[in-house]
């Protein structure tokens, strides 16, 4: 055996137990091969045995000590053949092989993390550290094993989840047009697209402030300082004039409002992270460190790409998108990505769509929900200064549509739109409370379901 086997550790003992379980119980071989990765064997000799067992099994043979020994070509009476015999002797039962496999994976990952930490400690520059941090993050979030759910289990799970009639655990945005027409959970990815200065950060902060009542939210600001974000949160949440805040001309009444409303505001679990210069790996690491349920990334095209700096910009951003998407799914975190849109041709107005997301189509592909916010068509008699269109451009489990919101720049909020109709009377769009609006169905093609 190699030197690594001379000093048994918890991980090496677990490796031997997994192999021993395969050798004494042929019925579990297929399950072990499905859930155990050869990269998690730190002992070269143990890894060779696993690889030989897998090859024998794939060839349709019986993965026992005799066939594995023949596959490896070990001589009769050799130390290597004796190792196979010893593996069976030290494993009294195969019943706990999953526990052994879990311990083996953890110890292997810990060894890789220690090796990466040593490289980080010896790095000379920050550029040397960044790819190592990304690899370190991958070790912390990597998915282990493939979970296959048979039909019986699917139906049993359906019965348990729906028989009680309890409300589904969807994440609310605080905007009826989204809450009533989408079904977003933690683990999903939402893209909020808009042109510069059209209000996507204000809309995102409204969402974040609402979610922070029940969830822990991290707002990663890659463009705007925490102080400016704080100003917007105060004007939104406390309805204090934004111009007075920016000019530091708060009245006694404003300060009174601030004092009263602060009691509710401090209960919101909302953190603002000054994220300029962060990579996707940095964002994921901070999210895990602080235990956020939801993160907002403002905005995603400013995330510093990792990997080869010579890659095309579209490839770099696609990598960022895939990393955040995988992280959302593997860690059960709702990721809301603010994204810039490509500018339309000068002098021409058209409603943007999800294909206008800048840099890469991967954002569109990875998103469970895409929401657009933009100024209305000037030909429709809506004020481009005071109105915004909010459109659900993509919804994997809901309906698409759009409606008009009134944007209150004084308080950086979106509310129910009202206007005079042709007869001169006040007419409200559908909805009964601030934050609601009409949802007009806008199928993308004649075959669209909604």
At residue 50, does pLDDT exceed 50?
yes
> Per the domain annotation, does 413 fall within a domain?
no
pLDDT at residue 426, as a whole number:
40
Beta strands 418-420; 426-428: pairing state: antiparallel
Which has the higher per-residue pLDDT, 316 or 343?
316
pLDDT at residue 391, as a whole number:
85
Chain-centroid distance, C-alpha 337 = 9
Same domain, residue pair 209 and 284: yes
pLDDT at residue 448, as a whole number:
32
Which has the higher per-residue pLDDT, 139 or 189?
189
CATH code (residue 116): 1.10.860.10
Question: Are 88 and 23 within 8 A, CB to CB?
Answer: yes
At residue 446, does pLDDT exceed 60?
no
At residue 432, does pLDDT exceed 60?
no
pLDDT at residue 337, as a whole number:
93
Same domain, residue pair 219 and 103: no
> Per the domain annotation, does 17 fall within a domain?
yes
pLDDT at residue 118, as a whole number:
87
Give the domain-ending residue among 339, 370, 401. Answer: 370
At residue 259, does pLDDT exceed 80?
yes
- Domain of 101 in residue numbering reads as 3-122
Give the domain-ending residue among 343, 370, 397. Answer: 370
Same domain, residue pair 314 and 202: yes
pLDDT at residue 437, as a whole number:
38
* Lookup result for tokens 């395969």: 22
> Would you state the structure tokens that stand for residue 251, as one six-digit string?
């009245």
Report the distance separating Cα 369 and Cα 401, nearest Å: 12
At residue 360, does pLDDT exceed 70?
yes
Same domain, residue pair 254 and 343: yes
> Per the domain annotation, does 214 fall within a domain?
yes
At residue 87, does pLDDT exceed 50?
yes
Instruction: Determine what percent of the chain is predicted with pLDDT higher than 70.
Output: 86
Give the domain-ending residue among 79, 101, 122. Answer: 122
- Rounded to an integer, the average pLDDT of 253-271 is 89
- Rounded to an integer, the average pLDDT of 34-63 is 80
Q: Residue 420: which pLDDT band, with cuts at 50, 70 and 90?
A: very low
Provide the greatest CA pair distance for the chain.
101
At residue 427, does pLDDT exceed 80?
no
At residue 162, does pLDDT exceed 80?
no
The per-residue pLDDT for range 185-227, each reduced to its tens digit, is: 888 999 998 888 888 899 999 999 999 999 999 999 998 888 8
Q: What is the number of domains present in the chain?
A: 2
First to last CA, the chain: 65
CATH code (residue 337): 3.40.50.300
The per-residue pLDDT for range 285-294, each reduced to its tens digit, is: 888 888 899 9
> Per the domain annotation, does 427 fall within a domain?
no
> Per the domain annotation, does 200 fall within a domain?
yes
Report the distance separating Cα 23 and Cα 92, nearest Å: 11
Nearest to 278 by CA among 318, 222, 228: 222
Same domain, residue pair 74 and 216: no
User: Of 56-65, 146-155, 413-422, where does mean pLDDT reach its minimum?
Assistant: 413-422
At residue 444, does pLDDT exceed 50?
no
Same domain, residue pair 282 and 362: yes
User: Of 45-54, 252-261, 353-362, where does mean pLDDT reach its minimum?
Assistant: 353-362
User: Beta strands of 265-333 (E only): which ranges?
Assistant: 270-274, 294-298
pLDDT at residue 445, as a whole number:
39
**pTM metric for this prediction:** 0.62
At residue 297, does pLDDT exceed 80?
yes
Same domain, residue pair 104 and 248: no
> Per the domain annotation, does 420 fall within a domain?
no
> Per the domain annotation, does 376 fall within a domain?
no
Nearest to 275 by CA among 362, 323, 192, 338: 338
pLDDT at residue 219, as a whole number:
93
Contacts 24+ apart (CB under 8 A), 54-60: 57/29, 57/30, 57/33
Provide the phi-psi class of 165: left if phi over 0, else alpha when psi is between -120 and 50, else beta: left
Same domain, residue pair 232 and 353: yes
User: Of 80-89, 199-208, 272-281, 371-380, where does mean pLDDT reach its minimum?
Assistant: 80-89
User: Cα separations (Å) of 388 from 17, 177, 242?
Assistant: 63, 13, 19
User: Alpha helix locations (H) across 95-241?
Assistant: 97-121, 126-141, 151-163, 176-179, 200-211, 226-238
- Angle made by CA atoms 345, 366, 292, in degrees to the nearest 5: 110
Q: Whole-number mean pLDDT of the chain?
A: 79
The H or E element spanning position 264 is: helix 252-265
Instruction: Determine what percent of the chain is predicted with pLDDT higher than 90.
Output: 9
Same domain, residue pair 336 and 270: yes
Same domain, residue pair 271 and 349: yes
- Rounded to an integer, the average pLDDT of 64-92 is 80
Q: Residue 434: which pLDDT band, with cuts at 50, 70 and 90?
A: very low
User: Cα separations (Å) of 203 from 25, 130, 333?
Assistant: 58, 32, 20
The per-residue pLDDT for range 370-408, each reduced to its tens digit, is: 998 888 888 877 777 788 888 888 888 878 888 888 888
Under DSSP, is residue 231 helix (H, G, I), strand (E, B) or coil?
helix
> Would you state the structure tokens that stand for residue 287, as one six-digit string?
């999210």
pLDDT at residue 212, as a whole number:
92
> Per the domain annotation, does 431 fall within a domain?
no
CA torsion 252→254→260→262, rounded to 10°? -120
Same domain, residue pair 12 and 95: yes
- Rounded to an integer, the average pLDDT of 98-121 is 85
């Amino acid at each position: 055996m190699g030197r690594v086997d001379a000093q048994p550790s918890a991980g090496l003992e677990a490796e031997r137990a997994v192999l021993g379980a395969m050798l004494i119980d042929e019925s579990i071989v297929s399950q072990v091969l499905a859930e155990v990765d050869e990269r998690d064997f730190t002992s070269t000799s143990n890894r060779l045995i696993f690889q030989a067992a897998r090859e024998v099994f794939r060839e349709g043979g019986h993965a026992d000590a005799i066939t594995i020994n023949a596959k490896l070509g070990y001589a009769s009476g050799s130390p290597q053949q004796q190792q196979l015999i010893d593996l069976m002797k030290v494993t009294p039962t195969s019943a706990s092989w999953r526990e052994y496999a879990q311990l083996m994976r953890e110890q292997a990952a810990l060894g890789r993390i220690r090796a990466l930490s040593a490289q980080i400690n010896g790095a000379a520059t920050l550029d040397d550290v960044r790819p190592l941090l990304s690899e370190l993050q991958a070790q912390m979030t990597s998915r282990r094993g493939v979970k296959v759910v048979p039909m019986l289990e699917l139906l049993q799970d359906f019965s348990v989840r729906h028989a009680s009639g309890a409300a589904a655990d969807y994440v609310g945005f605080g905007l009826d047009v989204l809450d009533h027409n989408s079904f977003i959970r933690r683990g999903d990815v939402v893209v909020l697209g808009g042109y510069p200065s059209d209000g996507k950060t204000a809309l995102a902060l409204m969402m974040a402030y609402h979610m922070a009542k029940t969830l822990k939210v991290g707002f990663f600001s890659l463009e705007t300082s925490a102080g400016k974000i704080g100003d917007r949160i105060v004007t939104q949440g406390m309805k204090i004039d934004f111009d007075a805040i920016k000019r530091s001309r708060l009245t006694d009444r404003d300060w009174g409002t601030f004092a009263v409303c602060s009691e509710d505001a401090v209960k919101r679990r909302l953190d603002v992270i000054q994220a300029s210069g962060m990579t996707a790996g940095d964002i994921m690491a901070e999210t895990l460190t602080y235990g956020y349920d939801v993160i907002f990334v403002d905005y995603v095209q400013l995330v510093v790409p990792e990997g080869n700096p010579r890659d095309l910009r579209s490839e770099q951003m696609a990598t960022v998108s895939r990393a955040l998407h995988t992280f959302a799914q593997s860690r059960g975190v709702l990721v809301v990505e603010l994204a810039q849109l490509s500018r339309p041709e000068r002098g021409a107005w058209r409603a943007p769509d999800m294909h206008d997301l800048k840099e890469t189509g991967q954002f569109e592909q990875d998103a469970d929900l895409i929401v657009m916010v933009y100024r209305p068509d000037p030909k429709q008699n809506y004020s481009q200064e005071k109105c915004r269109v909010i459109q659900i451009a993509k919804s994997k489990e809901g309906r698409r549509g759009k409606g008009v919101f009134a944007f209150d720049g004084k308080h950086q909020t979106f509310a129910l739109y009202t206007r005079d109709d042709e007869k001169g009377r006040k007419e409200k769009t559908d909805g009964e409370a601030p934050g609601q609006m009409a949802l007009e169905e806008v199928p993308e093609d004649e075959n669209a379901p909604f």
